[in-house]
Each structure stands twice: as C-alpha cells, then as structure tokens.
Amino acid sequence: MKKIPILIDCDTGTDDAVALIMACAAQNLQLLGVTTVAGNQTVDKTTLNTLKILSFLGRKDVPVARGAERPLLRTLQVAAEVHGSSGLGGVILPDPDMQAQQMNAVELIRSVLIKNDVPVTLVCTAPLTNIALLLSAYPQLKHKIERIVMMGGGLSHGNVTAAAEFNIYADPEAAGIVMNSGVSVVMCPLDMTEQALLKFDEIEHFASEKGKVSRLALDIFRFYAQYYEARGFSGVALHDPTTIAYLMRPELFTLRPMYVQVETAPGAATYGMTFADTRIMADPPAPNAQVCIDVQRDAFIRLLTECCRAYDTGTPV
C-alpha cells in the first residue's frame, strides 16, 4: 500500500489526542513528525501531552518539536474550559519516555519537507501560527507541501464567538496567511465536525473494550462529554479526528470548492470569522479551499472504533 506522508501540527488537547491515535493506527498514513503550538493550552503543556500520547502509543520513532508559544499578533487565549487545566482533561498518563527535538517546529517541518522525496501533507488541528511562520520564512518550500488539511473555521457560526471558531480566532492573522498562500487547503469547519458526533450512549460502548488505547479514548470521551452535555449537544463533537479520517477514507466526506477569507480587523465582532463566497453570480473569486461540508457519521464512528481497537487486535485499519 502506498502511504501518504503526513506531518501533524497540533495543540494536543482531548480531540487532538484522538486524532493522534487514529493517525498512528492508519495503515495508509506515514507519520513523519508532530509539531506543537499554543492553543488548547500553553505550548509547554501541549508539547508534554503530545510526548505522553506518542509514548503511550509506542511511537517513540516520531520526532516532536515545540512550536510557537503565542499567536503572531494577539494575546494567547487557551481553552481550559473545554480541555481542562492540563489540556487532557482528567486523563492521567505516565511520563513520556521520549523528548522533543532541539530544533523548533518550523525547522522540523522544513527538514521533513526537504528530506522527503514526495510532497508532504500537513495536518493542522490547532491555531495556524507555526504554518504561517513556515510559509513566511520558507516560501520556496511551498511546492513540497501536497496540501494542508486543517480543522478550523465555520461557514455558518463559530464556537468562541457567534462568528469565530477557536483555531482561527486564536490566531486569525496566521490563518489569513495560510488561506492566501496558494497552497492547496482542505478545510474541516464546524459545520461538518459538529456532525461527527460520538453520541453519549455510544461512549459507554468503549467500556466493553479491553485494549489500553480504547480505555484511554473512553476516559477522554467521558471528560469531553461534560462540556458538550452542558451545551445541549447530543454527543461529543470530534473535530480534530475528522482531518485524519478524511485522509484515511475521503469517500466519507462531501467537499465543495470555495473562496474563504479570514476577518483580521481587531475589535470587530467578526474578528476571526471565516467567510466563504458562495454567491451564484458571474466571475466569482477563484476557490482557495476545498471545504468539507458533510460526513457520513456512522461510518466515521466505526472507523474511530476500529482505530482504537487496532492497537489491541493488530487488525490493519
């Protein structure tokens, strides 16, 4: 099987952890590295969480590099109310038996892009600070990026403000650089990721699983459920794992080409908003993103379950 080379840029909180679980289980993905950034929690915490998850999964072979500790321009705002004070909720994992690289995130991504024979897909489940810095510092490497598959934005609403989704709101200026870079972008917005619901009664199905990774996922989902239940959802929205699921099973998703802009006017009610031009008229702007607008929920949940179970059974996913 020909594998897709990927590098994950994340702010490891609860759903980033699930995305890492899926990525390490995927037979068609080759994980070349993981970079971290401040977002769900401080970069110190997201880096430690990443090292813990990869150690727990037995993936000490994957290099990890610490990235930006703050957004390009704005003040850092973390999401402790969603992911807890550690970033992993109430989940307690052993100390990692691996360390972050001495090079920073941008330099690790640069190294991976240069060394790989074919273009690499960047999977972004965090504020886009590291990627904006990479594109600004090394624009000559754009051709080495196959595409950027990102979780972020919303077409109809936000989750931090009425207009803005967290990953974009955390660093709108960085998101604007990425969206206008000319690199191919696949965008997984709230409109789709909120369809990727693990229903509350389905969470307890993981309690019947004996594997340590399934049990880890159960602990993550139980903590995460508290946030979503309090807000009237029927389940836990698995935002970040949809990026990995898209690369594993693209047929589960419906995509539509769109021209997407990011609002970067400080103080505006729409600050951090991603707005897509969907007008039906002559000469619309050329699309700069493929936007995921729909996901086959049941198949997505089956894929998630198979990925968690694979660590115990050894069954390829």
Q: How far apart are CA 189 and CA 194, in angstroms?
A: 9
Q: How far apart are CA 241 and CA 34, in angstroms?
A: 15
Which regions of the chain does DSSP assign to beta strands (E)?
A: 4-10, 29-36, 64-66, 120-124, 145-151, 185-188, 197-199, 235-237, 253-262, 274-277, 289-295
- Crossing angle of the two packed helices 129-137 and 172-179, in degrees rounded to 10: 50
Any catalytic annotation for residue 83?
Answer: no
Q: How many C-beta neighbours within 10 Å does residue 193 have? A: 24
Q: How far apart are CA 49 and CA 28, in angstroms?
A: 25
On whether the CB atoms of residues 108 and 115 are closer than 8 A, the answer is: no
On whether the CB atoms of residues 127 and 38 are closer than 8 A, the answer is: yes
- Interstrand relation of 120-124 and 4-10 (parallel, antiparallel or unpaired): parallel
Alpha helices in 26-137 (DSSP H): 43-56, 80-83, 105-115, 129-137
CB-based contacts of 109, cutoff 8 Å, min separation 6: 7, 9, 33, 35, 65, 122, 130, 131, 134
Catalytic residue chosen out of the listed positions 83, 143, 157, 239:
239
Which residues are part of the catalytic machinery?
A: 239
